[in-house]
Amino acid sequence: MIIDPKELKQKLDEAGYIYDETLITTLVVSLALGRPLLIEGAAGVGKTEVAKVMAYALGRELVRLQCYEGLDESKSIYEWNYQKQLLSIQVGMGQSQPQSKTELTKSVFSEEYLLERPLLKSIRSEKPVVLLIDEIDKADEEFEAFLLEMLSELQLTIPEIGTVKAKSTPFVVLTSNRTRPLSEALRRRCAYLFINYPDIEKEVAIIKAKMPNVSDRLALAVAQAVHDLRENDNIMKKPSIAETLDWIAALEALGVPDLTPEAAGLTAGFILKNEEDIAQLDTGCGCAGHTHADGTPCEGHVHADGTPCEGHDGHHCHHHHN
């Protein structure tokens, strides 16, 4: 399928998804080549969202397969409705003229008894769909092997029926948080995109797109603070975009017009998700830990305990602008 980049941009704008040129090019190319798109990146950078907005942009149904440890073909491709088969056989046995063995086998292994799972559903659909295989890194390596046939040949094999060829070509999006390396074979079949945490400008744009009522000042302060937190090596769990939005929502709910150290302290649980990270926020300096672009140490902020910062040099800071 060939899609005009301008048209795609317009659709993503309508869906409120903030994009860059690399993303647009990648989506256009993978659609044009009919290749699955493998998206990697830290948790919460908007990987899953890409599939959702593509479903919207292409006007297709989104079929989602959430991966987890132990996911196998019976949960992802198909399963025979064993209980229904068994009942059918028992009913058949009670009839005066029971079916022959061949007929019986043929009838119980027909589509009537087939439980369709997301992968099979996506290729048997008359209309093309967007298939999201979410967090593929959580599934086992064996499951990757099941996927290979589908991704490269767009077909699946069911031993009792034979090969099921795709009626339509789904746009496949696979996401991974990189908790384990994916196989070379899988990677080779996919187009690849890495999504990093957004820079401050992009994060402000995301905040404004998702929460238009937030003031520019608060959006910028929060984006700057979140950026500093992500840069801080001492913070173990880096905040995601979703957490940025939660934080802003919490600040809005408190009616806080600006990101003061007090407000940051009160709402820290929305942006930092473990005790050690929050302790860092309490004991560290204010936002003045960084140096400005011109090399001068920052002096414009306030420590968490309320004392003004006299400037630091050479290390990042995880606190927030006053």
User: In the complex, which residues of this chain contact other proteins (CB under 8 A)?
Assistant: 2, 5, 21-22, 25-26, 28-30, 32-33, 35, 38, 40, 69-70, 72, 82-83, 86, 90, 138, 140, 178-181, 184, 187-188, 190-194, 233-234, 236
CB of 221 to other proteins, least distance (A): 25
CA–CA separation, 180 and 195 (whole Å): 17
Please identify, using beta-carbon distances, which residue of 312 and 321 lies nearer to other proteins.
Answer: 312
CB of 86 to other proteins, least distance (A): 6
Helix (H, G, I), strand (E, B) or coil at 231: helix
Neighbour count for residue 277 (Cβ, 10 Å): 20
Q: Is 311 exposed, middle or buried (0-12, 13-18, 19+ CB in 10 A)?
A: middle
Please, which residue, 21 or 275, has the CB nearer to other proteins? 21
Q: How far is the CB of 300 from other proteins (least distance, A)?
A: 26
In the complex with other proteins, which residue's Cβ is closer, 35 or 117?
A: 35
**Contact assessment for residue 23 and residue 33, using Cβ atoms and an 8 Å cutoff:** no
φ/ψ of residue 168, rounded to 5: -145, 160
From the CB of 140, what's the least distance to other proteins, in Å? 6
Q: What is the three-class DSSP state of 51? A: helix
DSSP state, residue 61: -
Buried b (16+ CB within 10 A) or exposed e, 110-142: eeebbeebbbbbbbbbeebbbbbbbbbbbbeee
Q: How far is the CB of 322 from other proteins (least distance, A)?
A: 27
Task: State which residue, 147 or 214, has the beta carbon closest to other proteins.
Answer: 147
Nearest CB to other proteins, comparing residues 310 and 313? 313
Q: Evaluate whether 288 touches 309 at the Cβ level (below 8 Å).
A: yes
Q: Which is nearer to other proteins, 49 or 135 (CB)?
A: 135
Tell me how far, at minimum, the Cβ of 135 lies from other proteins, in Å.
12
